[in-house]
A and B are shown apart, each in its own frame.
Chain A
Amino acid sequence: MVIASRRGHLLLGGAALVVALLPLVAGAYVLQLVSTALVMALFALSLQLLVGGTGLVSLGQAGFFGLGAYAVYFVQGKGAAASLLLTLPVAALLAGLAALAVGALALRTRGFFFLMTTLAFGQMLYFLIHDAPWAGGADGIFVQRPNFGLFGLDYVPARRDRPAVLLWTNLALLCAAYAGLVVVMRSLFGRMLQGIKENDHRMQALGHNTYAVKLVAFVLAGALAGVAGHQWAMTEAFVNPELLGWHRSAEALLMVLLGGLGALHGPLLGAFAFIGLNELAQLVTERQRLVEGLVILAAVLLLRDGLAGLRWRSRA
């Protein structure tokens, strides 16, 4: 998996700046939409660490995303908003621990069987939340948005400012997660992931404990998905069991595929393209899923390296 060049990072930074300045010009609807896209980009990015980074195709990632979202409910219940400084680490920890348990078992399998095992575990988490009396019910439940409290000094944005504050929060977390993953992928650990992706067996013969390395990556990705889930709950002020379902895992996988498996920033492009496409299709037809499916099919067939593989052709 490649990391964007200096020029690529300038472009990504420019895009982040544009997003950050959106509240100056855009209305609440657009801000909400972009906030959601940022959350999904973060979620897809967590999956990219596994798929593009390590060669592990998981269909259970939404389980950790949903647990992160439900962490907000578990901490607050139906009561008042708690501080982000509490709910966010709890979300990451809860999702990370679940990923540790799931990964420890699922990583004993390979390829297709890994896919099916993660799918099964994801669905188990879904039904756990769906049927548990302590999880707020099968139809989901409203939650207070965590605030920015710090030792009694709570910052609760005014209703008017809230869309902008949410957008900036999601953007900041996405940027931090991306920067963190750049460090990870460039590190000695990241090189091991790359080696495992190409040839796990050989890496073992060279003295790498690939099971342990993959488990660390799986837990990291799970915790990151939990952070994304937390931001979902914060953005939507609502959680429901569908957040853990395999549909959402598949959606993230589509975003990764659309954006490109070969580049760390692929899922960022993929998530925005996917959600933008969904919006456009809604304008044209009620069968937006059909349009979406066709466009993704075309994109995957025509762009082998996804959107991240697109290059500006210089006119010779």
Chain B
Amino acid sequence: MSPPVLQCFGLTRRFGGLVAVDDVSLALASGALHAVIGPNGAGKSTLANLLSGELTPTSGTLQLDGESVTGWPAWRMARAGVGRSFQRTNIMRPLSVQENVRLAAQARLTPPTRLWRNAAKEAAPQIAARAALERVGLGAEAARKAGALSHGQQRQLEIAMALATAPRVLLLDEPLAGMGPEESETLAALLRDLARDHAVLLVEHDMDVVFRVADQVTVMVEGRVLLSGTPAVVRGSAAVRDAYLGQAT
């Protein structure tokens, strides 16, 4: 496996008395899909928010390519190659699907000197947006209003927007939430495909998908890492069954 791209050490985040994420260390390497599972309130989304710069850690450090990026704001993390999708669909609803993705591509493709140029005539972000839409299978919907897409399509749009920022790291927070079985199937294949050339962190509830697509699984309970290992190891662990899988059945 290639060296880690994004890495955190002893990441901790407190909200008042609650320790949402407690001393979590993990490494994301390119070409691998790292899944984070755990019961509700385990701190999975908070972890994603810490890794993407949405939240600053109370303590612990964050490294991108071996350089410290602790405390960087979200936009700077995104610029540096950390893309993310959100658990709750987070798009520009009144704008077209194409424009949503184009804005994502624009962030990295526009040097400040070109900012005053006519956006309709700047080809690079348009082309990059088009490519990202094709990749998630939304090519035919480019002209529609983003808010008019079906729920499943909006989830795909989320991922297309993250992709259009040309990230090296993808933080995907429950991309399958609320999707039908057929859509899930398509998206699982896409995740597998994305993991070939990205470092992917997948926060997910759907165990079937996780065990199918993940290279490594980290189980979180009450903010802490309970266990981290290959899907086979995690599936076989009695502790995990007790803490988490047991609850479901």
Contact = CB atoms under 8 A, between A and B. Distances in A.
Interface in B13-56: 52, 54
Nearest to A186: B118
Contacts of A204: 73-75, 78
B74 A191 contact: no
Interface string A114-137: 000000000000000000000000
Interface in B95-120: 95, 99, 102-104, 106-108, 110, 114-120
Contacts of B110: 188
B112 to A, nearest CB: 9
Contacts of A186: 118-120
Contacts of A199: 90-93
Given A187-B118, A207-B75, A207-B78, A202 B92 contact: yes
Contact of B90 (A189, A194, A201): A201
A140 interface: no
A205 interface: yes
Contacts of A80: none
Contacts of B74: 204-205
B84 interface: yes
B185 interface: no
A190 B94 CA distance: 16
B90 A188 contact: no
B108 A191 contact: no
What's the interface size class on A, roughly? 20 to 34
Interface string B214-237: 000000000000000000000000
B78 A205 contact: yes
B6 interface: no
A198 interface: yes
A281 interface: no
Contact of B103 (A187, A201, A203, A209): A203
Interface string A169-204: 000000000000001101111111011001101111
Contacts of A202: 86, 90-92, 161
B142 to A, nearest CB: 16
B196 interface: no
Contact of A188 (B108, B115, B165): B115
B144 interface: no
Given A188-B114, A207-B107, A210-B75, A198 B119 contact: no
Interface string B157-190: 0000100010000000000000000000000000
Contacts of A198: 92-95
A203 B103 CA distance: 8
B85 to A, nearest CB: 9
Contacts of A192: 103, 106
Contact of A205 (B90, B93, B102, B117): B90
B114 A205 contact: no
Nearest to A184: B116
Contacts of B102: 191
B69 to A, nearest CB: 14
A190 B119 contact: yes
Contacts of A206: 75, 78, 103-104, 107, 161, 165
A203 B74 CA distance: 10
A201 B76 CA distance: 13
B241 interface: no
A290 to B, nearest CB: 36
A304 interface: no
Contacts of B103: 191-192, 195, 203, 206, 208
Interface string A67-95: 00000000000000000000000000000
Interface in B65-92: 73-76, 78-79, 84, 86, 90-92
Nearest to B166: A207
A195 B92 contact: yes
Contacts of A187: 115-119
8 contacts: A187-B118, A191-B106, A195-B99, A202-B86, A204-B73, A205-B54, A205-B86, A209-B76
Q: Which 7 A-B pairs have the closest CB atoms?
A: A207-B107, A207-B78, A198-B92, A207-B79, A189-B115, A206-B104, A204-B75
